[in-house]
Structure 1
Amino acid sequence: MQYRRLGRSGLKVSELSLGSWVTYHNQVDTTAATEMLAAAFDAGVNFFDNAEVYALGESEVVMGQAFKALKWPRLNYVVSTKFFWGLERDGNTTNRKDTLNRKYLMQAIDGSLQRMQLDFIDLVYCHRPDPHTPIEETVHAMSDMITQGKALYWGTSEWSAADIRAAWEIADKHHLHKPLMEQPQYHLFHRTRVEQEYARLYEDIGLGLTTWSPLASGLLTGKYRSGIPAGSRGALESMSWMREQLQDPARNAAVAELEKIAAELGGNVAQLAIAWANRNPRVSTVILGASKLAQLQDNLGALALTPKLTPEVLERIDALTKPLAK
């Protein structure tokens, strides 16, 4: 396992990390989470990703209980959470849901700390942009979280390059804590934002990336080539919105060809897809998701494939996937 600086900070995160979206509480209980966190940690993973909205707070509860059971020194791991949607579902969006206003953010961090049983959270993200709150207000609130010692670094997730730059410039002008990292979706079929839109930000402001969905929610495992298997992520009712893309004929045909390349390199297509995202020098860490220990262990096998992605191999991969990417 290699460790990379997160943007221009002195913090180093493992090149592969472990997230909890969809799985924790829904598919993974505290016992299973503890087992997988321990296995990931033993393999060198030091970054574990979460969000307030995952399972409406229960994902944070599960992860917090697992950390407590593992009793790791706090210096040895990095944990994140993300804010935007909130936990309320009563239709009142003024202060609590779908917002990055100061009132919501200052209460959200306290809730996450309580659920995760932590004194501070290393990385906090604005989970989506909020067109109804001035960026100045959001920047001041996120900076104050750090000043108060409740978080160490802050960043964004799925923000436009223009909004990230605006937030950074506001923080710079007012001597506030600047946004350090972005958490975008990044995989073989979704690459424009990371490779083109953010291109100037890496040098201009030192933006770091903690990318998610390297397997395109399972599409790049090959398991959806013949439909939606029972027990898979795509079979969950909460994930019904992605079934069409999981069964896309052209992309599944490309996956079948990628399987051949992976086999030539001594791995499987999931490992190849993770290795492809990992080989991008702009990516600080690739966030993995797993519902079973065996799945996590298999995904960690991507580390062995990363150095095998020669320019010739990458060219073959691009020929299959780039025309289908967005």
Structure 2
Amino acid sequence: MVNYRYLGNSGFKISEITYGNWLTHASQVANDAAIATVHKALDLGITTFDTADTYANTAAEEVLAEALKGQRRESLEIFTKVYFPTGPKGTNDTGLSRKHILDSINGSLRRLDVDHVDLYQAHRFDHETPLEETFQAFADIVRQGKALYIGVSEWTAEQLREGHALASQLGIQLISNQPQYSALWRVIEGRVVPTSAELGISQIVWSPLAQGILTGKYLPGQPVPEGSRATDEHGGSEFIKRFLRDDVLEAVQRLRPIADEAGLTLAQLSLAWVLHNPNVAATIVGASRPEQLEDTVKASGVVLDDEVVARIDEVLAPVAVTDPERTYESSPTTRLV
């Protein structure tokens, strides 16, 4: 079964393996297959589910709602997000303005068929909206009982500090950041993680397997497997391109002996590496087939000793991205429409 961790400086616990439906629900797989993977996640002890209004232009939230129908609401932790364009993608259908936030939370609750979400996240930083306006809207949502906690995604250390200060002034809790993080993409370690640890903010990380690269299924000098993320035209192929280099793929293959010695698959080793970071509360995994989750959940509770972590770091050091300046690339300087 899956272990739990506290989220930020709060009494709220989430499953350290969290199920996410970014590129799967209403996109890569049929709805019945998506529902089957959610049911498998529940069977395996995952109770935390992460989605966003922008995933499949709101359809992913509806699929998740269908999959969770009949479950005890109090036994689930449901997260969603706001920022990216949704619906007809009009002038006010994007960003973190008060109007878009309030319209979006009501839409998400309707699609998810719940009266509140446990965590409501700013999917990116909005450079076009005063931060005070954004956090006042978040505070109103919390006081209305539509969200219990507030989080963000891909914010810089400076943005986290400013947001945390405003949240504290308004009497609400900013407890999480959701960045990309893996043994190959480590840009948050330099500034975001130390700032978050100081402020009582946890990381809920996405792409812990570097879009599947760290499973070892992509081989140097070989064509990408049919039906893999690298062939996905719904967006997955764009994210994985940066890692589809022979030097990266060769380094990943050199992790196999380390995984074998630990009695783990490469995927389990890579997830355990992410969870070794004490500032990480959860790692988000997705699945297109239920059986994929049976492998990944076994990373929960695995404790890698410092020597094993050091060996992994040494193997990947020549190809891992660590520059903290890369954290400033995530939020668009103007809203997307």
Identify whether the pair has TM-score above 0.5, normalized to the shorter chain. yes
Report what 1:154 is aligned to: 150
Matched, 1:45 2:46: yes
Percent of residue pairs identical: 38
CA distance in 2, matches of 1:171, 1:220: 36
SS in 2 for 1:60: helix
Report what 1:180 is aligned to: 175
Contact 1:211 1:285 in 2 (8 A): yes
Equivalent of 1:234 in 230, 237, 242: 230
Tell me: CA distance 1:7–1:243, structure 2 relative to 1, closer, same or farther (3 Å): closer
Greater shift, 202-211 or 107-116, is seen at 202-211
**Cα offset for 1:89?**
4.9
CA distance in 2, matches of 1:277, 1:38: 25
Report what 1:164 is aligned to: 160
SS in 1 for 2:10: coil
Contact 1:167 1:178 in 2 (8 A): no
**Cα offset for 1:243?**
4.6
Kindly report which structure 2 residues correspond to 1:1-326, keeping only aligned pairs within 5 A, or say none: 1-68=2-69, 71-90=70-89, 92=90, 94-97=91-94, 99-173=95-169, 175-193=170-188, 195-225=189-219, 226-239=222-235, 240-303=237-300, 306-307=302-303, 309-326=304-321
**Cα offset for 1:200?**
3.4
The amino acid across from 1:170 in the alignment is L
The structure 1 segments of at least 4 consecutive aligned residues displaced by more than 3 Å after TM superposition are: none
Structure 1 length as normaliser, TM-score? Answer: 0.93
Provide Cα deviations, 1:280-312, integer angstroms capped at 9, x if missing partner.
1111111111111111111112236x22x2111
Provide Cα deviations, 1:103-138, integer angstroms capped at 9, x if missing partner.
000000011111111111111100011111111111
Greater shift, 222-231 or 99-108, is seen at 222-231
Contact 1:234 1:246 in 2 (8 A): no
CA distance in 2, matches of 1:268, 1:89: 43
Tell me: CA distance 1:147–1:295, structure 2 relative to 1, closer, same or farther (3 Å): same
**Cα offset for 1:238?**
2.3
Report what 2:329 is aligned to: none
CA distance in 1, matches of 2:32, 2:239: 29
Provide Cα deviations, 1:63-114, integer angstroms capped at 9, x if missing partner.
001111xx12111010110111131455x4x3112x1111000000011111
Give 5+ residue unaligned stretches, structure 1: none
CA distance in 1, matches of 2:257, 2:40: 29
The amino acid across from 1:29 in the alignment is A
Contact 2:179 2:206 in 1 (8 A): yes
Question: Which structure carries more helix by proportion?
Answer: 1
SS in 2 for 1:17: strand
Provide Cα deviations, 1:133-162, integer angstroms capped at 9, x if missing partner.
111111111111111111111110001110
Tell me: CA distance 1:54–1:73, structure 2 relative to 1, closer, same or farther (3 Å): same
Equivalent pairs counted in the alignment come to: 317
**Cα offset for 1:19?**
0.5
**Cα offset for 1:246?**
3.6
**Cα offset for 1:261?**
1.3
Provide Cα deviations, 1:1-49, integer angstroms capped at 9, x if missing partner.
2211111111111111110010111123333233222222222211111
CA distance in 2, matches of 1:136, 1:178: 15
CA distance in 1, matches of 2:21, 2:290: 13
- Aligned Cα root-mean-square deviation (Å): 1.6
Provide Cα deviations, 1:237-282, integer angstroms capped at 9, x if missing partner.
1233235324112111111001221122222111111111112111
CA distance in 2, matches of 1:96, 1:232: 32
SS in 1 for 2:182: coil
Tell me: CA distance 1:76–1:168, structure 2 relative to 1, closer, same or farther (3 Å): same
Greater relative contact order (Cα < 8 A, sep 6+) = 2
SS in 2 for 1:82: strand
Contact 1:30 1:63 in 2 (8 A): no
Contact 2:160 2:196 in 1 (8 A): no
The amino acid across from 1:130 in the alignment is D
The amino acid across from 2:223 in the alignment is G
CA distance in 2, matches of 1:56, 1:134: 25
The amino acid across from 1:53 in the alignment is T
Contact 1:30 1:65 in 2 (8 A): no
Structure 2 length as normaliser, TM-score? Answer: 0.90
Contact 2:193 2:279 in 1 (8 A): no
CA distance in 1, matches of 2:72, 2:167: 32
Tell me: CA distance 1:315–1:200, structure 2 relative to 1, closer, same or farther (3 Å): closer
Tell me: CA distance 1:279–1:204, structure 2 relative to 1, closer, same or farther (3 Å): closer
